[in-house]
């Protein structure tokens, strides 16, 4: 066996393997002093590696989503489904995917869920702050299904339904487009329903101050009034420190307002501590207006943010919170 520090020969002068390979590469390319270029390339790789990591880590969530989709197709094929989807048929698949996502939340973020006693046994509308990605909601949904045997539907932005390959995943999980009538119907059937009124705009253009960006949206309040259900505010601590956006660039904001597609770059994927807090429900009041209920809900969500989030958000602090004593989970 040849040792790692032995030499190869190129002519009469013995050389180390690294020098030998550099010499051969230089002769093959015809570039003189190629070792200088290689040293510079290695230096650039070392400098840019952290940048590459923070840009690529958010892609892990995309991989998990498509892994979930692949699992559903395998599940469907294995069970030879020939008729329309039934809730009973997909129960096993939902539980398996919940286990997958809950495992990711536990390992990567030390995910915790608090306040589930505030979720009513019957229907209710959960209103949550939208981080740069919906990962915290997926962790919440998975933990709720595993721990409490409750399933929560969600309203998603229209662009989600145009993502390639997502149709089966959305159909199985009963994700809604968001028409008021469809939401009211789901609640009247006794389901839990979640919505982030800020939507994609809040996800992309809120900041480390956790500014609530709802604009004039109050349709969710009218849904709760029409369905006669309580509203439950929900917030996830450090959700904006896990993944950040470049939404502060004005031209990107202008471009989004024109085409309404989430083309703002994301970075991060940091393993920060995530804790979801479910607030006290806002009960149904027959004489309240949608404007008044919207204001009450926004105030309740803002209160959760101020109570559980140190402002402005800080990535390093959120990382360090992984090593603090954990709060007791529900």
Active site residues: 130
Torsion sign across C-alpha atoms 126, 128, 134, 139: negative
């Amino acid at each position: 066996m040849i040792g790692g520090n032995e030499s190869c020969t190129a002519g009469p002068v013995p050389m180390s393997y690294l020098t030998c390979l550099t010499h051969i590469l230089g002769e093959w390319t015809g570039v003189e002093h190629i070792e200088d270029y290689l040293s510079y390339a290695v230096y650039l790789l070392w400098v840019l590696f952290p940048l590459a990591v923070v840009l690529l880590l958010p892609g892990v969530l995309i991989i998990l989503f498509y892994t979930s989709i692949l699992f559903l197709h395998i599940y469907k094929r294995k069970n030879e489904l020939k008729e329309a989807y039934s809730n009973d048929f997909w129960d096993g698949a939902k539980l398996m995917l919940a286990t997958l996502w809950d495992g990711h939340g536990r390992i990567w973020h030390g995910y915790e869920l608090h306040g589930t006693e505030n979720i009513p046994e019957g229907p209710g509308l959960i209103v949550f702050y939208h981080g740069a990605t919906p990962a915290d909601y997926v962790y919440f949904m998975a933990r709720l299904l595993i721990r409490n045997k409750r399933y929560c539907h969600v309203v998603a932005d229209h662009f989600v339904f145009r993502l390639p390959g997502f149709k089966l995943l959305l159909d199985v999980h009963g994700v809604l487009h968001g028409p008021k009538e469809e939401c009211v119907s789901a609640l009247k059937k006794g389901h839990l329903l979640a919505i982030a009124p800020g939507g994609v705009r809040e996800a992309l253009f809120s900041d480390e101050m956790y500014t609530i960006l709802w604009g004039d949206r109050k349709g969710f309040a009218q849904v709760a009034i029409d369905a006669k259900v309580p509203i439950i505010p929900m917030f996830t601590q450090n959700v904006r420190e896990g993944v950040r956006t470049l939404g502060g660039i004005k031209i990107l904001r202008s471009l989004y307002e024109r085409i309404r597609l989430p083309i703002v770059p994301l970075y991060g994927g940091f393993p920060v501590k995530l804790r979801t807090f479910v607030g006290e429900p806002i009960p149904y009041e027959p004489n309240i207006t949608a404007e008044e209920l919207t204001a009450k809900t926004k105030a309740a969500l803002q209160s959760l943010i101020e109570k559980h989030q140190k402002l402005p958000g800080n990535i390093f602090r959120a990382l360090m919170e992984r090593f603090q004593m954990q709060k007791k989970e529900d």
